[in-house]
Amino acid sequence: MKRCSKGHSLSDKNRADRIPYGNAGLFDDPWLEPFVEIIQSRLSKARKTSQQFTQGRSWQSAADYHNRFGLHRSGKTWVFREWAPNATGIFILCPANQWKPSDDWALTRTGEAGIFEGRFPEHCFAHKGLYRLWMVWDGGESDRIPTAATRVVQDPGTLIFNAQVWAPNKAYHWQTDHFIPPKAPLLVYEAHPGMALEEGRIGTWVEFAEHLLPKIVHAGYNTLLLMAVQEHPYYGSFGYHVSSFFAPSSRFGTPDDLKYLIDMAHGMDIRVLVDIVHSHSVKNEVEGLSRFDGTDFQFFHGKDRGHHKLWDSRCFDYGKPQVLNFLLSNLRFFMEEFRVDGFRFDGVTSMLFHDHGLGRDFTRYADYFGDDVDQDALNYLFMANDLVHSISSRAITIAEDVSGYPGLAAPKAVGGTGFDLRFAMGIADMWIRLLKEVRDEDWHLGTIWFELIRHRTEEKTISYVECHDQALVGDQTLMMRLMGERIYTGMQISDTSAETLRAVALHKMIRLVTLGTAHKGYLTFMGNEFGHPEWVDFPSPGNGYSYTYARRQWSLKYDPTLYYCGLFEFDRQMIA
């Protein structure tokens, strides 16, 4: 095994960050030897940023944005704080002042830079009361939603978003107090609460808890990956254009309803992970963070760098301490307030690279160790993993990264970034490519085997045939791809045509071989375990606001005359 050459020797000042070599070391790979100094430098910078952020405090004490800012009750007084460095004035708007700024509802600057505070008598706010902010800055003024709002609702008539006071007389009473997640390999059930019903409407947290959780248990999965949790103005964004990061989406119910879902899941021995979106934010200004204080660079990079052109969204500036506090506090909030068991971090590739990894194949190790890596984003990912695991050693973090960044899902102690697992995203792409471009009889088993087991030995992965990405509009589910239009006429078990039998057999075998070669985890998107037809398309002007493809046809898997029933039973026994 090669050691670090003299050309890559480590200075004494970096010795504490030294990557251990040997069987337990991350970079036993000789191809990484030319990049050892870069790796060491990144680790050292991440550690330095962590120390500057915590300043000797615990992670829980340092990540306190949600406790410092927003609306909080203190005895018989309500205290509201906001961070808005460029603002010259902030007023609370509510029914009591006819939604007009007044001196009685003005916040005042504190001694801390950019922080405003107001103290109000107990009668000024009540449970479920609505409010928002009126922000004033040099050259402009506008409505805004508080950055740390924990409940945001939309008026069905005016469509205006407002923050809502959530302070019930009785706090939610948890039924499952000391949940210990199952130790078995992760069997992940990815699900969207709004499209979880068969009816053509938006489902709720409570309906998911009472109707979907039993299905997940029966199917044999032990981990729920819950999508679209954070508030997002546009339902059709699949939850990825987040506006209010601390507010569970109100279109699915109340914060207590989400707690009920997680509580019930824990009672059924199901771990709950949240699909967290810290890679970007919606560009909306009134109900989002963009231009919150009148500048385009408060939470985000300024000018072009602050805009993700493909996603039409804003890109965080991870180099700002208050932005780090905001995002880290967001993780802490969901773990402590809602008792979630971890997170899948969306869009990690976009975070890691200045060009967001767009249009790149990442075929060389040099692709990961150039100047185009965002060190500030990498620092944040190190810190996020440290925070999550400091709150709970049983918590799980998963990275969604298409680039294959080395060591992303390896412990920091051996040179990694600290994620527990990463998505094996190339597997799903391989199956689609084979089905679209290669005849069945020409599939090369060696190539398939290579892709199925392709991962660094020190990194744990989650394999899957299809997650939600593979079924979005413009694409289709695996079974739809296998059957084509025949899925509407050829799924009766009385149909023994070669086309149908081929599709059913391949659906089973593709899933079986993917599970059998999985390295620590396996995932399915809800409904795909029984070969759900068609694709996912949320209501929009383009489809006449139809829910036809934004639901799950559960009745198919219960019909014994259809192959869907057998496909579900195969999947259930496969993962048992």
d(CA 290, CA 242): 11
Closest CA to 261 of 340, 157, 363: 340
Which two structure tokens, joined as six digits, stand for 316? 């965080």
Q: 568: burial class by Cβ within 10 Å (0-12, 13-18, 19+)? A: buried
Question: Which of these is catalytic: 285, 346, 401, 420?
Answer: 346
> Does 451 qualify as catalytic in the annotation?
no
Single-letter amino acid, residue 273: L
d(CA 102, CA 314): 32
Q: 304: burial class by Cβ within 10 Å (0-12, 13-18, 19+)? A: exposed
Question: Which of these is catalytic: 207, 275, 285, 400?
Answer: 400
> How big, in percent rounded to 5, are the helix, strand and coil portions of the chain?
40, 20, 45
d(CA 270, CA 68): 32
Q: 251: burial class by Cβ within 10 Å (0-12, 13-18, 19+)? A: middle
Give strand pairing partners of 399: 345, 422
> Does 346 qualify as catalytic in the annotation?
yes
Give strand pairing partners of 562: 492
- The H or E element containing residue 531 is none
**Residue 375 to residues 348, 378, 379, 382, Cα–Cα distance (Å):** 13, 5, 6, 10
Residue pair 154/161 in contact (Cβ under 8 Å)? The answer is yes
Q: Catalogue the active-site residues.
A: 346, 400
